[in-house]
Amino acid sequence: MEDRLAAVKGMNDVLPPESGRLGRFLEVGRRLLVAHGYREIVTPIAEYTALFSRAVGEVTDLVEKEMYTFPDRDGRSLSLRPEGTAGAVRAYVQHAVHKAEPVTKWFYAGPMFRHERQQRGRYRQFHQIGAEVFGIAEPGVDAEMITMLVDLLSALGVPQARARVSSLGCAGCRPFFRERLTSFLRPRAADLCEDCRRRLDQNPLRLLDCKKEICATTRAGAPSTLDVLCAACRAHLDAVVADLAALSVPHQLDGTLVRGLDYYTRTAFEVHSDAAELGTQNTLVGGGRYDGLVEELGGPSVPAIGFAMGVERALLAIPAEPPPAAVDVFLVALGEPARRWAAARARSLRAAGLRVDLDHRGGSPKRQFRRADGLGARLVILVGDDELSRGTAALKDLRSGEQQELPQDALLAEISRRLSG
Ligand code: AMP
């Protein structure tokens, strides 16, 4: 196919049965978040670019290199959202939600866009399920969120989920860390990539998540955020870790974890899986506290914490099961009067909640049965002129091979009995 008519590189079609896996994943995710007291929000896929530069940070890979940014027809710069927190916080501030409730628990699920180098587990359009809690500064909610994520991943079938936890400090202690880090890296600047050399003065924390090998080597032995936490940040982190231990959540403290976004304060975490399919892209969830962001975006001073889970990446970690059947019941009709009867019956069975199909092309019974098989139907209703004249239909159970002729008004009860058996 001509290149310009193919899907955009890194933005993938999701076709059955994979689309079914994606849908079921989102369903289970939604159910679990609702069970934890979260309610769903839907925010626009595009926002004014300034929101992301302000929230995520001007000097970050995400904003400098990865956003899909374009002028709209009025000349204002828009960007496709690269992440969900900026939009959620914008909505929280814009609708003054803090005035209506002291604590807000929101979740979202939808596509995000980043112009990254494509590889397995890394795409330019991908889905995230994320959540935000506004209004709680206490560490209990940090530990609860991390616990929920480990539980969620195991409920979704992701093997060996474990958390890495760190603290990025607060406005009080972070400047000390920044200073220590800069003093460590400045004499080594010649061994940093060009981006990192530039960021050394602007945003030295970002040097910690540069993926280039030369920078990773140069960083070895750099001070850790954990060395310079103030007493309040230290106590917060200790409390999170104590809760995680009490809840037996697999976790490890890791001072090298910094996350790629500027808005985090105090707790930062990731959830990983050791599933072999993931290779190096084994971070399934990233999150942390962002106590200053609501205020930064023009709202009141409200503490908050959130996470985002990469759906495609989590799906890679879940062993694929055979795809479920597309329908429960298939109607095989012989002749036009039977086809019309079957169409009406399909409608009433669908209204009763069953997954039902028939083949409007008609054709031989053999061909129609082949179609029933292809869709994975468990039961086939077979009708022709004879059955119609008797007011009956044949019901065939494709699993056991049994076939019986039934009065038409007894079909639904027998179908339900067989499907539940
Ligand atoms: P972040 O918003 O960068 O903290 O990412 C949170 C999670 O989203 C990551 O742990 C990944 O699971 C997922 N993710 C981030 N970027 C991508 C991408 N380009 N393709 C697929 N998943 C991604």
382 shares a domain with 271 = no
Give 244's pLDDT tier (boundaries 50, 70, 90). very high
For residue 309, how far is its CA from the centre of ligand 1 (angstroms)? 7
Residue nearest to atom 21 of ligand 1 (CA): 122
What pLDDT is stored for residue 281 in this prediction?
81
Task: Write out the DSSP string of 202-227.
Answer: H-GGGGGG---HHHHHHHTTPPPGGG
Domain boundary at 316, 344, 368, which?
316
Number of domains in the chain: 2
367 shares a domain with 312 = no
284 shares a domain with 144 = yes
Please say if the pLDDT value at position 260 is more than 70: no
The helix/strand/coil state of 72 is coil
Mutate-to-test residue for ligand 1 from 313, 315, 316, 318, highest number of ligand atoms within 8 A of CB: 313
Q: Each residue of 93-107: pLDDT tens digit?
A: 999 999 999 999 999
C-beta 313 within 6 A of ligand 1? yes
Domain boundary at 274, 289, 316, which?
316
CB 145 within 8 A of CB 305: yes
138 shares a domain with 50 = yes
For residue 188, how far is its CA from the centre of ligand 1 (angstroms)? 30
For residue 198, how far is its CA from the centre of ligand 1 (angstroms)? 25
Query: Model's pTM, two decimal places?
Result: 0.91
The strand pair at 392-397 and 379-383 is best described as: antiparallel
C-beta 359 within 6 A of ligand 1? no
Please say if the pLDDT value at position 278 is more than 90: no
Which range, 133-137, 155-159, 174-178, is most confident? 133-137
What pLDDT is stored for residue 172 in this prediction?
92
34 shares a domain with 141 = yes
C-beta 105 within 6 A of ligand 1? no
235 shares a domain with 103 = yes
Domain boundary at 284, 316, 348, which?
316
Listed in sequence order, the residues at least 6 apart from 274 whose beta carbon sits closer than 8 Å to its beta carbon are 159, 160, 162, 282
Give 305's pLDDT tier (boundaries 50, 70, 90). very high
Structural domain boundaries, residue 333:
329-420
Give 205's pLDDT tier (boundaries 50, 70, 90). confident
Q: Each residue of 354-395: pLDDT tens digit?
A: 999 999 999 999 999 999 999 999 999 999 999 999 999 999
For residue 296, how far is its CA from the centre of ligand 1 (angstroms)? 24
What pLDDT is stored for residue 257 in this prediction?
87
DSSP state of 300: -
Please say if the pLDDT value at position 242 is more than 80: yes
79 shares a domain with 51 = yes
Please say if the pLDDT value at position 218 is more than 70: yes
Mutate-to-test residue for ligand 1 from 60, 126, 132, highest number of ligand atoms within 8 A of CB: 126
Ligand 1 atom closest to the Cα of residue 285 is: 10
C-beta 204 within 6 A of ligand 1? no
Strands (E) in 256-334, as ranges, are 265-273, 283-289, 304-310, 329-333
Listed in sequence order, the residues at least 6 apart from 235 whose beta carbon sits closer than 8 Å to its beta carbon are none
The strand pair at 46-48 and 77-80 is best described as: antiparallel
294 shares a domain with 339 = no
Q: Is position 64 within any domain?
A: yes
Q: Each residue of 4-18: pLDDT tens digit?
A: 799 999 999 999 999
382 shares a domain with 272 = no
Mutate-to-test residue for ligand 1 from 25, 118, 122, highest number of ligand atoms within 8 A of CB: 122
